[in-house]
Amino acid sequence: PDYTIDVDTAATGPAIDDTMYGVFFEDINDAADGGLYAELVRNRSFEFLPADREGWNGLTGWGETALAGGAGTAATPNDDARLHERNRTYLRLDLRNAAGGAYGVTNGGYGTGVAVAEGRKYDFSVWARTTAKAGTPITVRLATASGKALAKPLVLRAEGDGWVKYEGTLTATATSDAGRLSVLAKGTGTLRLDMVSLFPQDTFMGRENGLRKDLAEKIAALDPGFVRFPGGCIVNVNSHYGYDEASGWQRARSYQWKDTVGPVETRATNANFWGYNQSYGLGYFEYFQFAEDIGAMPLPVVPALLTGCGQNRATDDPALLQRHIQDTLDLIEFANGPATSTWGQLRADMGHPEPFGLTHIGVGNEENLPREYAPIFVQFRDAIKAEHPDMVVISNSGPDDQGPVFEEHWANNRANDVDMVDEHYYNSPTWFLQNNDRYDAYDRNGPKVFLGEYASQDGKLFNSLSEAAYMTGLERNADVVKLASYAPLLADVDNVQWRPDMIWFDNDESWGSTSYEVQKLFMNNVGDHVVPSRASGAVVQPEPITGSVGLSTWATAARYDDVTVTAPDGSVLLADDFEDGEADGWRSLEGRGSWSVVDGAYEQSDAAAENTMVVSPAVGATDYDITVKATKTA
């Protein structure tokens, strides 16, 4: 059809900042360990603890190996012989090898195994101490599960009963995505090991403790204006309580930047909200470094002492709050302070004497308690502004794009005259098409908007088209919407907590989604300013838009039974009485509370979250003309 776009080149609309479109690096879906962080050994520091997850233990990811009369026992104690106070457990091998025998452990890497490519070099390192007077010979082998060698073995010798780091290089003689790394010791005595590590030498930009090249290059190719990090729910969940003061240590805690800096062997690990362990090998220094390497503005988000993501708890501990506010000031010093300052010196010691130039910082993520959040935010903001008046301190609007929580947050944000508000929403393609004008009505003199997380869900390819259409609305309102990032960025096909995602990977390959291509197009073509334009002609409504409308609830528990979805011609697309205990053909929008079948009805279990259950895309209905009938029983 004829279609005309009239552009008024003489008129000038709002300026578009170079930082308008960025990425949100979130540690979800194995995005860090086993993903962007190039470490190939899983559980390198033996810190998977049974108390954190059923089935975990210090040797998760590892197996015992004995060769040619080798014998011994392997344990992962948490005792005073540890390598570092925050790196609690280590591997203890009590060796009882016959002459010539070897005993040790083998690591299976991530996914199908340790991925190596012929000709590439890999840096191996391990911390060790031994009680054997003459030292302990250690052989490091890279092979397939069936024993085919993937590199010439590396031979090291541990000496002395104090922790020493031993290093060497393995060169892959074959390509495999299913390698196994074995560390085998000869002789007798007690050998203690920790931080068993294998890194490809060609990390992104050759950085030590660096990033997986293919993934980092895909992110760099987007040319993002900023990098928001490190989450998401991992930032705020469990932030309402502090360390266990008795041990100075708390597992399963919120993301605290000081846990993630300094030499890697001194960093804590954490059992995170998404169900896996974080080594923090990819920590705040590495995030800042990566942002700088790809020419993007760093945008960290710190916990606000409220636990969101479905849990809704706020701290009542003023001392803990003050500690976190001080941590945030220290973070700014780490990023921007002179190399002579306490935290600036740590940055310099880690290899970056120059400041990173931090200008924006977020406080909290998807906070669901506006009344508790607002005064906390103001305390953070005022403390930051007192020392750094130009720092943009970003506030919150909660987990929803509208509704009472959102409205209360915005009222508070306006009353407190905040700089910028972080909005998040995951909606259907139809929603994105119908809400292109969302920001046209925003107050030009009010707080600016950071659209920190958004994605169209459940429309397959149509997701990306509706996102592209929506982004024209963001850009048209570039005087209000200052920053925008699609979410989530990365997903390991073997460990997915959230979809859709922008870039997918396994242990040796990665590929972008169609949304990746949309983001790349926009980020690589950011204009200087908006030019008023008007489109005319026959506008074709793309179809089909598959199942994005269903039953939706706000801030209330709801229960439905006997649901029927009917097409315009009267044919029944889907009918479910939920008596078989399943919700056939339905799914809920993940991450916003959850639906489950209870007593033969479909129930939203989280009373405080918006939730929509949607027709499975397999139904193929167009969402603007299906009819949904259901009995609301609660």
Active site residues: 366
By CB under 6 A, which span of 45-53, 125-133, 226-234, 465-473 interacts with ligand AHR? 226-234
Q: What is the CA radius of gyration of the chain?
A: 27
Among 61, 70, 111, 488, binds ligand AHR (CB under 6 A): 488
How near is the Cβ of 24 to ligand AHR at its closest, in Å? 7
Site for ligand AHR in 547-586 (CB under 6 A): none
- Per DSSP, the three-state class of 349 is helix
Nearer to ligand AHR, 70 or 488 (CB): 488
Q: Which residues lie closer than 8 Å to 134 by C-beta, 6 or more apart?
A: 187
**How many Å apart are CA 320 and CA 308, to the nearest integer?**
17
At residue 276, what are phi and psi to the nearest 5 degrees? Answer: -135, 170
| Closest to 602 measured CA to CA, from 623, 619, 621, 581 | 581
Pick the closer one to ligand AHR by CB: 48 or 498: 498
**Contact status, residue 115 vs residue 47, Cβ threshold 8 Å:** no
Provide the minimum distance between the beta carbon of 273 and ligand AHR in the complex, in angstroms, as a whole number: 8
Residue number, 365 or 616, with CB nearest to ligand AHR: 365
Query: Amino acid letter at 380?
Result: F
Q: Binding to ligand AHR by residue 591, rule CB under 6 A? A: yes
Token readout for 21 is: 């479109």
Which residue type is seen at 463? Answer: N
Closer residue to ligand AHR in complex, CB, 259/610: 610
Q: Tell me the pairing of strands 226-229 and 21-24.
A: parallel
Q: Does 453 bind ligand AHR (CB under 6 A)?
A: yes
- For ligand AHR, the binding residue among 365, 379, 427, 515 (CB under 6 A) is 365
**Strands 297-302, 306-307: parallel, antiparallel or unpaired by DSSP?**
unpaired
Q: How many whole angstroms separate alpha carbon 488 and alpha carbon 621? A: 27
Q: How far is the CB of 189 from ligand AHR (least distance, A)?
A: 47
Which among 558, 565, 563, 560 is positioned nearest to 625, based on CA atoms? 565
Choice between 447 and 591, CB closer to ligand AHR: 591
* Residue 485 Cβ vs ligand AHR, minimum distance, rounded to whole Å: 10
Number of residues that bind ligand AHR (CB under 6 A): 14
Residue closest to ligand AHR when measured from CB atoms: 232
Q: Which stretch binds ligand AHR (CB under 6 A): 98-106, 121-129, 231-239, 377-385?
A: 231-239
By CB under 6 A, tell whether 400 contacts ligand AHR: no
Mask for 407-446, x = binds ligand AHR (CB under 6 A): -----------------x----------------------
Q: Does 29 bind ligand AHR (CB under 6 A)?
A: no
Residue 366 touching ligand AHR (CB under 6 A): yes
Residue 610 binds to ligand AHR (criterion: CB under 6 A) = no
Indicate the residue type of 385. Answer: K
Residues 6 or more apart whose CB falls under 8 angstroms from that of 59 comprise 43, 46, 74, 76, 91, 105
Q: Which is nearer to ligand AHR, 58 or 488 (CB)?
A: 488
Report residue 81 as tokens. Answer: 């012989």
Q: Which of 233, 490, 503, 630 binds ligand AHR (CB under 6 A)?
A: 233
Tokens of 67: 């060769």
Q: Determine, following the binding rule CB under 6 A, whether residue 224 of this chain makes contact with ligand AHR.
A: no
Burial class (CB in 10 A: 0-12, 13-18, 19+), 244: exposed
Cβ closer to ligand AHR: 491 or 563?
A: 491
In 201-257, beta strands by DSSP E = 226-229
Contact (CB, 8 A) for 566 and 629: yes
User: In this chain, which stretch among 225-233, 286-294, 339-347, 518-526 interacts with ligand AHR, using CB under 6 A?
Assistant: 225-233
The nearer residue to ligand AHR, 187 or 399, going by C-beta atoms, is 399
Query: Is residue 26 a contact point for ligand AHR (CB under 6 A)?
Result: yes
Taking the least distance from each CB to ligand AHR, the nearer of 103 and 486 is: 486
Smallest distance from ligand AHR to CB 499, Å:
10
Rounded to a whole number of angstroms, the minimum distance from the CB of residue 454 to ligand AHR is 10
Least distance between ligand AHR and beta carbon 358 (Å): 21
Q: Which of 430, 405, 442, 345 is nearest to 554 (CA)?
A: 405
Asked if residues 91 and 157 have their Cβ atoms less than 8 Å apart, the reply is no
Q: Least Å distance between CB 299 and ligand AHR?
A: 14
> What CA–CA distance (Å, rounded) separates 106 from 292?
36
Contacts of 483 (CB under 8 A, 6+ apart): 17, 19, 20, 21, 22, 225, 226, 299, 360, 420, 449, 450, 451, 452
**Shortest reach from residue 400's CB to ligand AHR, in Å:** 10
Minimum CB separation from ligand AHR for residue 232, in Å? 3
Instruction: Say whether residue 223 binds ligand AHR (CB under 6 A).
Output: no
Q: Is 486 in the site for ligand AHR (CB under 6 A)?
A: no
> If binding is defined by CB under 6 A, does position 498 make contact with ligand AHR?
yes
**Binding residue (CB under 6 A) for ligand AHR from 232, 344, 362, 364:** 232
- Distance (Å, whole) CA 326 – CA 307: 19
**Longest alpha-carbon distance in the chain:** 87
**Does a cis peptide bond (omega within 30 degrees of 0) precede residue 303?**
no
Burial of residue 571 (number of CB atoms within 10 Å: 0-12, 13-18, 19+): exposed
Stretch that binds ligand AHR, among 50-58, 228-236, 260-268, 475-483 (CB under 6 A): 228-236
Identified binder of ligand AHR from the candidate list 104, 200, 224, 231, rule CB under 6 A = 231
Minimum distance of ligand AHR from residue 309's CB (angstroms): 6
H or E element, residue 429: helix 429-434
Q: Using CA atoms, how far apart are residues 242 and 254, in angstroms rounded to an integer? A: 9
* Closer Cβ to ligand AHR, 360 or 424, answer by number: 424
Binding site for ligand AHR (CB under 6 A): 26, 28, 231-233, 365-366, 399, 424, 453, 487-488, 498, 591
